[in-house]
Chain A
């Protein structure tokens, strides 16, 4: 709840800052409708938020101000000087209270009623109040205010008491504003420092162990990585902050247009420059509006075409070197090439002769030309006079680009490329043709040794295919892509790096060796080099050698490996079933006693590397910290560990994870030879032959029985919340703190929830479901937006805390009863 409170305070303060200009302008011209709206939004938001935090005084104040402003908006009342003064006094009071809340102090009692009364007084006796308002401080109604509020905003220096309190309050979390250019300078300085450190580390390694230097150097490294994290976070923000608002937007839009649209967001953890997020907010919104308005068909039309009646809009973000690619795909009717072309000819963008020469792709991309808009009727959703040309302009202004591809009847995909000016990314260094290249880690799905028969590399004409988890995947030879000669001393098979593109397509890149992975400082390349379309930037290795960062997305696009529309979400299930019918496979490794052993591949979640310091061996079962989780660990040797880092196999049975320490991971192998049971060792399932050598197959059942730690079983009632920002940030914490498990809306469609779950929906959603005759499973609590209930309506006002908790408790009781009844039956 504390985080939420901090958010509330920060948001309120931010809005206060933003609206302070509005406040002053409004005072100058109370009839200004735009200012009025801005201030109304502020008090409205405050009112909404504080309903959930038990701040009755804030709620009362903001509610009163909202009422008065709503009257003005509704034309029932003229905004006059006294009203402005009264509202500004309330806003000042809100600011002071927020300061007090942040500092954890009690705000002095009293005075609120007088402020609220001032609002009404101005209505009843406008003439009297006009003079009162001007006298300000002398009046009892505003006695606690030493100045008229607007003045306080203008001259904060005149109120030392308030200022001092603000400074105290700021102790909790202080924020300052800095020019971005300064941040840039600090950031590039820090990245140069990282490189200098890497260089130093390299030299120290060459010089051998030097205890007097190693200690301070380690410390420097730690400090530097802390500083770098902090600096990076200053500028970066997860794209989630942008994605967060989209489900609600899509919900509102689709409701408005009478369509049903589901949204699938992927890659929310991609981090992007704060400024860049603001830059792409509008373009992204615009494309989504377009997709829902023009792309996705009405439910009836979809059913007629044999599609699911609910449309799908998928948004995925990926980082690739200095660019972020965002793909927005819908499964709607697709773009109409002929209509676009004839429109372009009609508006004089192209001539008919040019039309005949143009490929479908080029025709489609005409929609980004200035003065182009396909919608025949301008709707109030997408036709706002801002076309896709503006979207492209905005993106190009920051060095980005946008492309569209579309298959008629199947959907449309917009691909946005947005640059990161400077970034530090996780990357993998590979080698081919005697030269090293870097690949952004975000693309890397898995690294597979091509020697394993499971991969089954086969040539079809000029293209190669590999089989990966039962699916045939196209394969590119990096050496060929780059036109490098094959290395003379080529020993054995290439290594496959499986790469997953933002569009969801998977392909294999064959390289001759993998070196290491680590953080890379990516610097831009000269335009002449960028034009080759193969590189996204350059970076320096520890020893100072420059290395080129491959532009994975572009290489795949040049090879024609990117499918036009993304069917990832829908195709995922079929892929899984296709992969199931294969020989059992196992991960082969050597354990610390030198024994060659294997564990069934399905159990292996991934291979982790942990420093010895992360391992705790003080208890009977050793434990290791990985990604902030404490997990059981087995397979360690009895004596001291031979290395500073330990390779660990992360095994999972679906509910809990277990780590198995190994000396060396060998490969994934197929279990073709018969399995010979070993009854004398309970931890061994069988012994089998792999490549003519006996290998011990570990018994997963016994491993998990002995070492696995099941998570605490959840006995709490589950509760499904509506989609949207409001539900996630405001409703979810309330529901969770009341002792319910919160399920995101997306999961409810899988049918995995039991009948005992409680579903909270907005009244309008409920009505739609009812009208469509679709029964919502489970117990339903309906929320309404207005405080006053219509007669005979079983809904709860969404800011009625008590009402909501009571409804939850009642629903939880009845859900349990019905669940028990179900079991009994």
Chain B
């Protein structure tokens, strides 16, 4: 992982990292068309050229309220399973290089964060949580589903 490019973003006041290869682009977010009856962490859909992006509020996808933090006017575009998503975050900080391997911390990151994070990674900008895109996009319900099946 050392030397890999990472996009550093802030989600709910925490520093997080996404692999730069996973990030297609960073766009100015335009009008978001709400999707009635969709999960609350889906803000809606927005257009990127001829493509429709599903807009995910990362704070809500973590199961946190979104009102407590500022929202960047830019969004990170990622793709997963053939669908493109725009991620709403507090702010998009920088692109930097990983300075170590993915590691864990004793005691974990807390239930919500552990679900979406692969682990901690040291970067030139300081330590950050390396996000797992699939789990982030699965939304907070995924966690409760896991718990149900465990019970």
Contacts and interface: CB of A to CB of B under 8 A. Distances in A.
B37 A532 contact: yes
A320 B35 CA distance: 19
Contacts of A546: 33, 45-47, 52
Nearest to A524: B83
A526 interface: yes
Contact of B38 (A521, A523, A528): A528
Contacts of A523: 51-52
Contacts of A524: 82-83
A191 interface: yes
B66 interface: no
B112 to A, nearest CB: 17
User: Which bracket fits the contact residues of B?
Assistant: 20 to 34
A295 to B, nearest CB: 37
Given A435-B33, A483-B36, A547-B33, A528 B47 contact: no
Contacts of B49: 192, 195
Given A528-B137, A528-B139, A548-B45, A484 B36 contact: yes
Contacts of A521: 50
Contacts of B47: 540, 544-546
A483 B52 contact: no
A789 interface: no
B123 interface: no
A535 interface: yes
A527 B81 contact: yes
Interface in A421-439: 433, 435
A667 B42 CA distance: 41
A527 B83 contact: yes
A534 B38 CA distance: 9
Contact of B52 (A196, A435, A540): A540
Contacts of A484: 36
A525 interface: yes
Interface in A763-804: none
A574 to B, nearest CB: 37
Contacts of A607: none
Interface in B44-88: 45-47, 49-52, 54, 81-83, 85
Contacts of A545: 31, 33, 47
Contacts of B3: none
Contacts of B138: 528
B50 A540 contact: yes
A529 B81 contact: no
B95 to A, nearest CB: 26
Interface in A517-565: 521, 523-529, 531-532, 534-535, 538-540, 544-548
Nearest to A525: B54
Contacts of A540: 47, 50, 52
Nearest to B36: A482
B50 A195 contact: yes
B13 interface: no
Interface of A is mostly: mixed
A534 B42 contact: no
Contacts of B37: 482-483, 532, 534
A529 B54 contact: yes
Given A546-B52, A548-B45, A529 B36 contact: no
A535 B35 contact: yes
B52 A534 contact: no
A538 B52 contact: yes
Contacts of A195: 49-50
A526 B50 contact: no
A528 B50 contact: no
Contacts of B52: 523, 525, 538-540, 546
Interface in A353-382: none
B39 interface: yes
A287 to B, nearest CB: 30
- A433, A528, A529, A545 interface centre (most CB from chain B within 10 Å): A528
Interface in A475-524: 482-484, 521, 523-524
Contact of A538 (B34, B45, B81): B45
A535 B37 CA distance: 10
A544 B82 CA distance: 21
Which residue among A433, A535, A546 has the maximum number of chain B CB atoms within 10 Å of its CB? A546
Contact of A548 (B33, B51, B81, B83): B33
Contacts of A548: 33, 35, 45
Contacts of B50: 191-192, 195-196, 521, 540
A545 B34 CA distance: 11
Contacts of B45: 525, 529, 538, 546, 548
A124 to B, nearest CB: 65
A527 to B, nearest CB: 7
Nearest to A531: B39
B51 to A, nearest CB: 7
A594 B51 CA distance: 46
A538 B50 CA distance: 11
A545 B53 CA distance: 11
A532 B138 CA distance: 14
A532 B33 contact: no
Given A526-B54, A540-B50, A544-B47, A435 B83 contact: no
Contacts of B46: 546
Contacts of A433: 36
Contacts of B54: 525-526, 528-529
Nearest to B81: A527
Nearest to A535: B35
B133 to A, nearest CB: 13
Nearest to A193: B50
A528 B137 CA distance: 8
7 A-B pairs with the lowest CB-CB distances in the bound complex, closest first: A482-B36, A526-B54, A195-B50, A192-B50, A538-B52, A526-B83, A546-B45
21 contacts: A195-B49, A435-B36, A482-B36, A483-B37, A484-B36, A525-B52, A525-B83, A526-B54, A526-B83, A528-B39, A528-B139, A529-B35, A529-B54, A531-B39, A532-B38, A538-B52, A540-B47, A544-B47, A545-B47, A547-B33, A548-B45
Given A192-B50, A532-B35, A548-B33, 7 more contacts: A435-B36, A523-B52, A525-B54, A531-B39, A534-B36, A545-B33, A546-B47
Interface of A: 191-192, 195-196, 433, 435, 482-484, 521, 523-529, 531-532, 534-535, 538-540, 544-548
